[in-house]
Amino acid sequence: MTTPTSIHLKDRSTLFDFVLTQRPDHVEITIQFFTSFYTTHEIPGTIALLETLLPRIFRHKCFNSGKLAFKEEAANTELGHLFEHILLEFLCIYKYKEGHLDFNLKGLTEWNWLQDPRGIFYISLNTKREDIFVLQQALLKTQNLMEVILMANTKSPMLPSKKIHKS
């Protein structure tokens, strides 16, 4: 049995929307971007912003197809993948603050735009039900930082926003 978990964020972004489902041993996030672009290639300031605001993200091990270090990968990667790494980093920060010193957070981002509209990503993280509080805090921070990064692309007319329908 699965339980959809609603995360209450005071101000939802107009640039993307997501739904979250807590499974017994992991969490699934379906996110849709309403931007006119879907990779960081369109946001040349991505690396500089991350270096300033979340530098530890570049220590992540990233298993991408090009076998690139995350810093290289992040300069031209799908927005969903960037969201995953930012969320992992904030989760790491909050778990550490809670006193957890030994944990291994993992994430995976997938998409299939032959089947789905462009801009939809499926992110899974190995967080458990008991991590829901830190997840909520980390999601808030991720949403804010993701907005800052997306706004750095100035030529992005927004597509009309559609809500994700969960089946």
Interface positions with Zn ion (CB under 5 A): 62
- For the CB of residue 166, give the shortest distance to Zn ion in the complex, in Å: 25
The residue among 30 and 109 lying less far from Zn ion, judged by its C-beta, is 109
Work out how close the CB of 81 gets to Zn ion at its nearest, in angstroms, rounded to a whole number: 6
Write the single-letter amino acid at 2: T
Q: For residue 30, which phi and psi values (nearest 5 degrees)?
A: -105, 120
| 71-75 LR contacts (CB < 8 Å, sep 24+) | 71/47, 74/40, 74/46, 74/47, 74/50, 75/40, 75/41, 75/46, 75/47
Residue closest to Zn ion (Cβ): 62
Q: How far is the CB of 23 from Zn ion (least distance, A)?
A: 20
Tell me the closest approach of the beta carbon of residue 63 to Zn ion, in angstroms.
6
Q: Is 107 helix (H, G, I), strand (E, B) or coil?
A: strand
User: Hey, what are 113's tokens?
Assistant: 């735009």
Cβ distance to Zn ion smaller for residue 4 or 82: 82
58 vs 156, which CB is nearer to Zn ion?
58
A 10 A CB-CB count for 3 gives 9
Tokens of 94: 């909050």
Nearer to Zn ion, 97 or 146 (CB): 146
Residue closer to Zn ion, measured from CB, 11 or 79: 79
